[in-house]
């Protein structure tokens, strides 16, 4: 059943106008679950059959970084924008948390980013051989693009749709599990799957869900996601 009053997108009607709220999402329904199945399926097919060709471009090249971001734009972001615009009849950028509370989200995200970087430097010291990890993909993909492309479908769309159907905590758990599931094909393809890695990604997804709830902005999630990837993928890989 829909969330009680006080939750994001709590009503489909603007006060006294009878017009549909341009930032209100519908609760998760059949169309949403069709989208979700298509998203997970198309991404799995890409990883297992097309990704090796993209990987052949060379993971340190600009071509690889550009191709990876373009594919994520097509498979991860554009379908969400279309679903929000067509199925929910809402304004995508506002609905996904990219307009309202943007300043608040940016300030919270940057503040947490500074804390994360400080903790990483105190824990690991000055990064060694950082030059070997500063690649086109390391900067454009891992450190700048991934947070944006992954937060739009997950915290921006999936979490909010489920949250309209159930309580926040269950919605956040389910979103985090789905977040883990889309990483599985890549982990198995690259033989990098470990239960501890899956748990870590689940916890990161869950924390990002909490951050979205309390910041009311997707920008806080995007910044924290990117900085986390920058720390683990560029500054201190393997730590």
Q: What is the pLDDT of residues 7-52, one digit of tens each?
A: 444 433 333 334 455 568 999 999 999 999 999 999 999 999 999 9
Instruction: For residue 37, give its domain range.
Output: 30-235
Within a domain: 18: no
Cα dihedral value 229, 180, 96, 101, nearest 10: -50
Within a domain: 187: yes
Within a domain: 20: no
Within a domain: 2: no
**Residue 202 predicted with pLDDT over 50:** yes
Within a domain: 229: yes
Burial track 166-179 (b if 16+ CB lie within 10 A, e otherwise): bebeebbbbbbebb
Which residue would you say has higher pLDDT here, 104 or 234?
A: 104
Share of the chain above pLDDT 70, in %: 88
Within a domain: 10: no
| 157-180 average pLDDT score | 97
Band (pLDDT 50/70/90 cuts) for residue 133 is low
pTM higher than the cut 0.85: yes
Band (pLDDT 50/70/90 cuts) for residue 138 is confident
Within a domain: 19: no
Band (pLDDT 50/70/90 cuts) for residue 131 is low
- CA distance linking residue 65 with residue 63, whole number of Å: 6
Q: Are 88 and 20 in contact (CB under 8 A)?
A: no
* Among 198, 160, 135, CA closest to 84: 160
Within a domain: 106: yes
Domain count, the chain: 1
**Residue 115 predicted with pLDDT over 80:** yes
């Amino acid at each position: 059943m829909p969330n009680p009053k006080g939750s994001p997108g709590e009503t489909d009607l603007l006060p006294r106008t009878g017009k549909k709220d341009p930032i209100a999402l519908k609760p998760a329904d059949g169309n949403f679950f069709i989208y979700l199945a298509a998203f997970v399926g198309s991404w799995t097919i890409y990883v297992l059959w097309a990704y090796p060709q993209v990987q052949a471009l060379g993971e340190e090249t600009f071509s690889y970084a550009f191709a990876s971001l373009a594919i994520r734009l097509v498979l991860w972001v554009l379908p969400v924008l279309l679903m929000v615009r067509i199925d929910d009849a809402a304004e995508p950028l506002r609905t996904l948390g990219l307009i309202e509370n943007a300043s608040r989200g940016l300030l919270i995200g940057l503040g947490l980013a500074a804390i994360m970087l400080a903790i990483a430097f105190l824990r690991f010291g000055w990064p060694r051989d950082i030059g070997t990890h500063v690649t086109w993909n390391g900067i454009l993909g891992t450190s700048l693009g991934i947070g944006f492309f992954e937060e739009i479908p997950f915290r921006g769309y999936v979490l909010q749709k489920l949250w309209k159907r159930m309580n926040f905590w269950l919605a956040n758990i389910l979103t985090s599990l789905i977040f883990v599931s889309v990483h599985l094909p890549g982990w198995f393809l690259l033989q990098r799957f470990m239960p501890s890695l899956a748990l870590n990604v689940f916890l990161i997804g869950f924390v990002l869900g909490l951050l979205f709830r309390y910041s009311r902005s997707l920008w806080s999630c995007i910044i924290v996601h990117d900085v986390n990837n920058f720390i683990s993928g560029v500054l201190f890989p393997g730590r």
